[in-house]
Amino acid sequence: MEDSGLIALVQGASRGIGLEFARQLAGRSDVGRIIASCRDPSSADMLRELEADAPVDVLAMDVEDEASIVTAARQTAARFSRIDLLINCAGLLHDSEGMGPERRLDQLEPSNLHRSFAVNAIGPALVVKHFRNLLQASKRAVVANISARVGSIADNRLGGWYAYRASKAAQNMLTRSMAIELGRGARPVTLISLHPGTVDTDLSRPFQRNVPEGNLFSTERAVGQLLSIIDGVTREDSGRFFAWDGSEIPW
Protein backbone atom coordinates (compact mmCIF):
# COMPACT_ATOMS: atom_id res chain seq x y z
CA MET A 1 0.00 0.00 0.00
CA GLU A 2 1.25 3.47 -0.90
CA ASP A 3 0.19 5.95 1.73
CA SER A 4 2.44 8.95 2.21
CA GLY A 5 1.16 12.36 1.09
CA LEU A 6 -2.27 13.21 -0.23
CA ILE A 7 -3.76 10.64 -2.56
CA ALA A 8 -5.81 12.30 -5.28
CA LEU A 9 -8.06 10.85 -7.96
CA VAL A 10 -8.67 13.05 -10.99
CA GLN A 11 -11.53 11.57 -13.01
CA GLY A 12 -11.56 12.73 -16.67
CA ALA A 13 -7.86 13.57 -16.95
CA SER A 14 -7.09 12.88 -20.63
CA ARG A 15 -7.21 16.57 -21.64
CA GLY A 16 -8.51 20.03 -20.76
CA ILE A 17 -9.12 20.97 -17.14
CA GLY A 18 -8.71 17.41 -15.82
CA LEU A 19 -5.26 16.98 -17.38
CA GLU A 20 -4.18 20.31 -15.85
CA PHE A 21 -5.45 19.20 -12.41
CA ALA A 22 -3.24 16.12 -12.69
CA ARG A 23 -0.28 18.28 -13.78
CA GLN A 24 -0.61 20.83 -10.98
CA LEU A 25 -1.21 18.21 -8.29
CA ALA A 26 1.86 16.33 -9.55
CA GLY A 27 3.99 19.42 -8.86
CA ARG A 28 2.95 19.71 -5.20
CA SER A 29 5.03 18.47 -2.29
CA ASP A 30 1.96 17.62 -0.16
CA VAL A 31 0.61 15.23 -2.81
CA GLY A 32 1.92 11.67 -2.72
CA ARG A 33 0.18 10.08 -5.66
CA ILE A 34 -2.30 11.07 -8.36
CA ILE A 35 -4.59 8.48 -9.88
CA ALA A 36 -5.63 9.99 -13.20
CA SER A 37 -8.53 8.26 -14.91
CA CYS A 38 -9.74 8.46 -18.47
CA ARG A 39 -11.93 6.30 -20.64
CA ASP A 40 -9.19 5.30 -23.11
CA PRO A 41 -5.64 5.38 -21.73
CA SER A 42 -4.21 4.17 -25.06
CA SER A 43 -5.21 7.42 -26.77
CA ALA A 44 -4.51 9.76 -23.82
CA ASP A 45 -1.03 10.72 -25.03
CA MET A 46 -0.57 13.88 -22.92
CA LEU A 47 -1.58 12.03 -19.76
CA ARG A 48 0.78 9.15 -20.60
CA GLU A 49 3.62 11.66 -20.96
CA LEU A 50 2.83 13.03 -17.51
CA GLU A 51 2.74 9.51 -16.05
CA ALA A 52 6.26 8.87 -17.36
CA ASP A 53 7.89 11.49 -15.14
CA ALA A 54 5.46 12.30 -12.31
CA PRO A 55 3.79 10.38 -9.44
CA VAL A 56 0.79 9.69 -11.65
CA ASP A 57 -0.95 6.38 -12.34
CA VAL A 58 -3.27 6.28 -15.32
CA LEU A 59 -6.45 4.30 -14.73
CA ALA A 60 -9.15 3.32 -17.24
CA MET A 61 -12.62 4.48 -16.21
CA ASP A 62 -15.55 5.32 -18.49
CA VAL A 63 -18.20 7.13 -16.47
CA GLU A 64 -20.91 5.98 -18.90
CA ASP A 65 -20.15 2.36 -17.92
CA GLU A 66 -20.76 1.44 -14.27
CA ALA A 67 -18.86 -1.86 -14.62
CA SER A 68 -15.73 0.08 -15.54
CA ILE A 69 -16.17 2.30 -12.45
CA VAL A 70 -16.49 -0.81 -10.25
CA THR A 71 -13.31 -2.29 -11.79
CA ALA A 72 -11.42 1.00 -11.38
CA ALA A 73 -12.46 1.22 -7.71
CA ARG A 74 -11.30 -2.38 -7.08
CA GLN A 75 -7.96 -1.74 -8.77
CA THR A 76 -7.48 1.43 -6.71
CA ALA A 77 -8.38 -0.32 -3.42
CA ALA A 78 -5.77 -3.00 -4.17
CA ARG A 79 -3.02 -0.33 -4.15
CA PHE A 80 -4.27 2.45 -1.91
CA SER A 81 -5.92 2.45 1.51
CA ARG A 82 -7.74 5.76 0.99
CA ILE A 83 -8.50 8.67 -1.35
CA ASP A 84 -8.12 12.16 0.14
CA LEU A 85 -9.25 14.18 -2.87
CA LEU A 86 -11.56 13.22 -5.73
CA ILE A 87 -12.01 15.63 -8.61
CA ASN A 88 -14.85 14.60 -10.91
CA CYS A 89 -14.00 16.46 -14.08
CA ALA A 90 -15.29 14.62 -17.17
CA GLY A 91 -17.97 16.56 -18.98
CA LEU A 92 -19.79 16.72 -22.28
CA LEU A 93 -21.24 19.70 -24.18
CA HIS A 94 -20.76 18.71 -27.82
CA ASP A 95 -19.23 15.88 -29.79
CA SER A 96 -17.81 15.17 -33.22
CA GLU A 97 -21.06 13.51 -34.37
CA GLY A 98 -23.09 16.70 -34.39
CA MET A 99 -24.29 16.85 -30.81
CA GLY A 100 -24.20 20.43 -29.57
CA PRO A 101 -26.03 22.81 -27.26
CA GLU A 102 -29.63 23.47 -28.34
CA ARG A 103 -30.69 27.03 -29.08
CA ARG A 104 -34.35 26.16 -29.46
CA LEU A 105 -36.76 23.61 -28.04
CA ASP A 106 -37.25 21.94 -31.42
CA GLN A 107 -33.57 20.94 -31.33
CA LEU A 108 -34.14 18.84 -28.21
CA GLU A 109 -33.00 15.25 -28.88
CA PRO A 110 -33.69 12.50 -26.34
CA SER A 111 -30.39 10.76 -27.17
CA ASN A 112 -28.41 13.94 -26.46
CA LEU A 113 -30.27 14.46 -23.19
CA HIS A 114 -29.50 10.85 -22.20
CA ARG A 115 -25.78 11.17 -22.97
CA SER A 116 -25.47 14.52 -21.23
CA PHE A 117 -27.06 13.12 -18.10
CA ALA A 118 -24.93 9.97 -18.30
CA VAL A 119 -21.60 11.85 -18.49
CA ASN A 120 -22.34 15.04 -16.54
CA ALA A 121 -24.64 13.85 -13.75
CA ILE A 122 -24.93 10.08 -13.36
CA GLY A 123 -21.25 9.32 -13.98
CA PRO A 124 -19.78 11.56 -11.26
CA ALA A 125 -22.35 10.25 -8.74
CA LEU A 126 -21.51 6.62 -9.58
CA VAL A 127 -17.82 7.40 -9.07
CA VAL A 128 -18.60 8.67 -5.56
CA LYS A 129 -20.82 5.61 -4.97
CA HIS A 130 -18.05 3.15 -5.79
CA PHE A 131 -15.13 5.08 -4.26
CA ARG A 132 -16.99 6.02 -1.06
CA ASN A 133 -15.21 3.42 1.10
CA LEU A 134 -11.83 4.79 0.01
CA LEU A 135 -13.05 8.35 0.63
CA GLN A 136 -14.41 7.46 4.08
CA ALA A 137 -11.03 5.90 4.93
CA SER A 138 -9.46 9.37 4.68
CA LYS A 139 -9.32 11.68 7.72
CA ARG A 140 -10.50 14.62 5.62
CA ALA A 141 -11.77 13.62 2.19
CA VAL A 142 -12.92 16.27 -0.26
CA VAL A 143 -14.90 15.63 -3.46
CA ALA A 144 -14.97 18.47 -6.00
CA ASN A 145 -17.53 17.93 -8.74
CA ILE A 146 -16.77 20.20 -11.68
CA SER A 147 -20.09 21.75 -12.58
CA ALA A 148 -20.95 24.90 -14.55
CA ARG A 149 -22.70 28.14 -13.72
CA VAL A 150 -25.23 27.40 -16.48
CA GLY A 151 -26.42 24.50 -14.27
CA SER A 152 -27.77 27.02 -11.78
CA ILE A 153 -31.58 27.19 -12.09
CA ALA A 154 -31.69 30.50 -10.21
CA ASP A 155 -29.08 32.02 -12.54
CA ASN A 156 -30.75 30.89 -15.80
CA ARG A 157 -31.76 34.07 -17.58
CA LEU A 158 -30.92 33.16 -21.19
CA GLY A 159 -32.45 29.70 -21.63
CA GLY A 160 -31.17 27.32 -24.32
CA TRP A 161 -28.41 24.73 -23.80
CA TYR A 162 -31.14 22.42 -22.50
CA ALA A 163 -29.24 19.16 -22.13
CA TYR A 164 -26.06 20.68 -20.67
CA ARG A 165 -27.91 22.98 -18.27
CA ALA A 166 -30.28 20.24 -17.08
CA SER A 167 -27.53 17.65 -16.64
CA LYS A 168 -25.37 20.06 -14.61
CA ALA A 169 -28.42 21.00 -12.50
CA ALA A 170 -28.94 17.27 -11.90
CA GLN A 171 -25.27 16.88 -11.02
CA ASN A 172 -25.65 19.73 -8.52
CA MET A 173 -28.62 18.06 -6.84
CA LEU A 174 -26.76 14.74 -6.64
CA THR A 175 -23.78 16.56 -5.10
CA ARG A 176 -26.02 18.20 -2.53
CA SER A 177 -27.74 14.93 -1.56
CA MET A 178 -24.43 13.06 -1.36
CA ALA A 179 -23.01 15.88 0.79
CA ILE A 180 -25.87 15.37 3.26
CA GLU A 181 -25.56 11.57 3.38
CA LEU A 182 -21.77 11.41 3.46
CA GLY A 183 -21.58 14.29 5.94
CA ARG A 184 -22.94 11.97 8.62
CA GLY A 185 -20.86 9.54 10.65
CA ALA A 186 -17.37 9.43 12.12
CA ARG A 187 -15.52 10.08 8.86
CA PRO A 188 -17.54 12.74 7.01
CA VAL A 189 -16.74 13.49 3.38
CA THR A 190 -16.95 17.09 2.13
CA LEU A 191 -18.54 17.52 -1.32
CA ILE A 192 -18.64 20.76 -3.30
CA SER A 193 -19.68 21.85 -6.80
CA LEU A 194 -17.28 24.14 -8.66
CA HIS A 195 -17.69 26.44 -11.66
CA PRO A 196 -14.29 26.91 -13.34
CA GLY A 197 -15.19 30.01 -15.38
CA THR A 198 -14.91 29.89 -19.17
CA VAL A 199 -11.73 27.96 -19.85
CA ASP A 200 -9.81 27.56 -23.09
CA THR A 201 -10.43 23.86 -23.83
CA ASP A 202 -12.02 21.73 -26.56
CA LEU A 203 -15.35 22.03 -24.72
CA SER A 204 -15.56 25.83 -24.94
CA ARG A 205 -13.68 26.31 -28.25
CA PRO A 206 -16.72 26.63 -30.56
CA PHE A 207 -18.27 29.24 -28.23
CA GLN A 208 -15.30 31.45 -27.40
CA ARG A 209 -16.20 34.24 -29.88
CA ASN A 210 -18.69 35.84 -27.50
CA VAL A 211 -16.52 35.66 -24.39
CA PRO A 212 -15.56 39.17 -23.26
CA GLU A 213 -11.87 40.09 -23.34
CA GLY A 214 -10.05 38.79 -20.26
CA ASN A 215 -12.81 36.33 -19.33
CA LEU A 216 -11.35 33.28 -21.08
CA PHE A 217 -9.02 31.51 -18.63
CA SER A 218 -6.10 29.31 -19.51
CA THR A 219 -6.34 25.84 -17.96
CA GLU A 220 -3.33 26.78 -15.79
CA ARG A 221 -5.12 29.80 -14.33
CA ALA A 222 -8.49 28.05 -13.93
CA VAL A 223 -7.03 25.04 -12.12
CA GLY A 224 -4.85 27.23 -9.89
CA GLN A 225 -7.98 29.13 -8.85
CA LEU A 226 -10.02 25.96 -8.24
CA LEU A 227 -7.21 24.37 -6.21
CA SER A 228 -7.15 27.45 -3.93
CA ILE A 229 -10.85 26.90 -3.22
CA ILE A 230 -10.37 23.16 -2.66
CA ASP A 231 -7.41 23.79 -0.32
CA GLY A 232 -9.47 26.19 1.81
CA VAL A 233 -12.66 24.14 1.95
CA THR A 234 -14.15 23.38 5.39
CA ARG A 235 -16.84 20.95 6.57
CA GLU A 236 -19.31 23.88 6.63
CA ASP A 237 -18.80 24.34 2.88
CA SER A 238 -20.08 20.85 2.09
CA GLY A 239 -23.08 20.83 -0.27
CA ARG A 240 -22.33 24.30 -1.63
CA PHE A 241 -21.65 25.60 -5.16
CA PHE A 242 -18.67 27.92 -5.69
CA ALA A 243 -17.38 29.86 -8.67
CA TRP A 244 -13.67 30.15 -9.55
CA ASP A 245 -13.33 33.36 -7.48
CA GLY A 246 -14.73 31.75 -4.33
CA SER A 247 -18.14 33.44 -4.60
CA GLU A 248 -21.15 31.22 -3.93
CA ILE A 249 -23.54 30.46 -6.81
CA PRO A 250 -27.24 30.05 -5.99
CA TRP A 251 -28.63 26.64 -6.97
Ligand X SMILES: NC(=O)c1ccc[n+]([C@@H]2O[C@H](COP(=O)([O-])OP(=O)(O)OC[C@H]3O[C@@H](n4cnc5c(N)ncnc54)[C@H](OP(=O)(O)O)[C@@H]3O)[C@@H](O)[C@H]2O)c1
Which residues contact residue 61 at a Cβ distance below 8 angstroms, ignoring those fewer than 6 apart?
11, 37, 38, 39, 68, 69, 72, 127
Q: Does 233 help bind ligand X (rule: CB under 6 A)?
A: no
Separation of alpha carbons 44 and 20, rounded Å: 13
Q: Does 116 help bind ligand X (rule: CB under 6 A)?
A: no
SS3 label, residue 190: strand
Q: Does 63 help bind ligand X (rule: CB under 6 A)?
A: yes
Binding test (CB under 6 A) with ligand X, winner from 17, 72, 73, 126: 17
Residue 40: count other Cβ atoms within 10 Å of its Cβ: 9
> For residues 143-202, which are near ligand X according to CB under 6 A?
146, 148, 196, 198-199, 201-202
> For residues 201-230, which are near ligand X according to CB under 6 A?
201-204
Q: Does 138 help bind ligand X (rule: CB under 6 A)?
A: no
- For ligand X (CB under 6 A), the number of binding residues is 26
Q: Tell me how far, at minimum, the Cβ of 138 lies from ligand X, in Å.
A: 23
Separation of alpha carbons 87 and 192, rounded Å: 10
Separation of alpha carbons 80 and 109, rounded Å: 41
Stretch of 50-58, 71-79, 85-93, 105-113 contacting ligand X, by CB under 6 A: 85-93
Stretch of 23-31, 37-45, 135-143, 227-235 contacting ligand X, by CB under 6 A: 37-45
Give Rg (Cα) of the chain: 17
Contact 10, 21 (CB under 8 A): yes
Q: Does 119 help bind ligand X (rule: CB under 6 A)?
A: yes
Residues that bind ligand X (CB under 6 A): 12, 14-18, 38-40, 62-64, 89-92, 119, 146, 148, 196, 198-199, 201-204
